[in-house]
Structure 1
Amino acid sequence: MKITPDEARPLTPKGHKQVQRVARFCQRHALLPSHLLCSPLVRALETALQADLRIYTGMLGEMAGVEDDLVLLEQVGSEN
């Protein structure tokens, strides 16, 4: 049996259904962000791609330092 590392695990079929349900809710209630910050984990990227938004990836708060997080957030904010 092959063990997939956590960061490489894909979104499950249940996860895809949950994302679709949340996306429909957000559309109905006009909760549509212009940007989405996302972890580089496979299942996080799959979730974000279903939202069809501009995606910024990075290990926010983990491997990157706080300074890197702030720079990324400033870049996203300055584009609005």
Structure 2
Amino acid sequence: MVSLEQVEAMIKAQLPDAKVKVEDLGGGDHLQAIVVSGEFAGKTKVKQHQMVYAAVQEAMATEEIHALALKTYTPEAWQAAGQVV
């Protein structure tokens, strides 16, 4: 089973500027990640999610991660939502 810290590290390896929070939604293989990255600027939500899924592709292929819910934001969108990066 992959740890939350390992998932965070995988995402940060792909998106070095990212602020990442990974939570277990149950069973250790159903996860949620909140990812804030400047690299998302100008990209659709679909493209943003594809960028994150590319980072965890191997863990998903081996079913270490069965499901990954994503919430992606640019730093500006994150601040507009009332959050602090």
TM-score normalized with structure 1 length: 0.29
Q: Which has the higher contact order (CA 8 A, sep 6+)?
A: 2
Between structure 1 and structure 2, the one with the greater Rg is: 1
Structure number with higher strand proportion: 2
